[in-house]
Amino acid sequence: MSESHIDTQALGEQVVGVLKTIFDPEIPVDIYELGLIYDVFVNEDADVKILMTLTTPNCPVAETLPLEVEEKIKSIDMVNSAEVEITFDPPWTQDLMSEAAKLELGFL
């Protein structure tokens, strides 16, 4: 293990913390609690890859939201690079929302 070894778990938690500050403009819940983030990958070079979806393929923020996610992740000091991949497989459903998001939106 080299001295430049990073704590990928700690960085991953920091990335999630940043994701929780990004909101879908149409829904008053952050994208993490909405279930739009499918996976966060962090390697030992501090490269971050986010696998995410949108509420619909025609989502009004389809162009801007992934860029916002990428820019905010890149702004974390320890992050070397950030890449956001959009997928619609599996498609997003309300079942992917956290209990907190469902409560906030009145689904519980």
- The residues spanned by each domain of the chain are 8-93
Structure token pair of residue 10: 């700690």
Q: What's the one-letter identity of residue 86?
A: I
Q: How far apart are CA 35 and CA 92, in angstroms?
A: 8
> What are 62-90's pLDDT values in tens digits?
889 999 999 999 999 999 999 999 999 99
Q: Which residues, 6+ apart, have CB-to-CB distance to 28 below 8 Å?
A: 104, 105
Q: Is 106 helix (H, G, I), strand (E, B) or coil?
A: coil
Please check whether residue 21 is in contact with residue 14, taking contact to mean a CB–CB distance below 8 angstroms.
no
How does pLDDT run across 14-69, given as a tens digit for each residue? 999 999 999 988 888 999 999 999 999 999 999 999 999 998 888 888 889 999 99
Token pair belonging to 86:
């959009």
- Tell me phi and psi for residue 76, to 5 degrees: -70, 125
Compute the Cα dihedral for 40, 51, 99, 90 and give only its sign.
negative
Architecture of 8-93 per CATH? 2-Layer Sandwich (3.30)
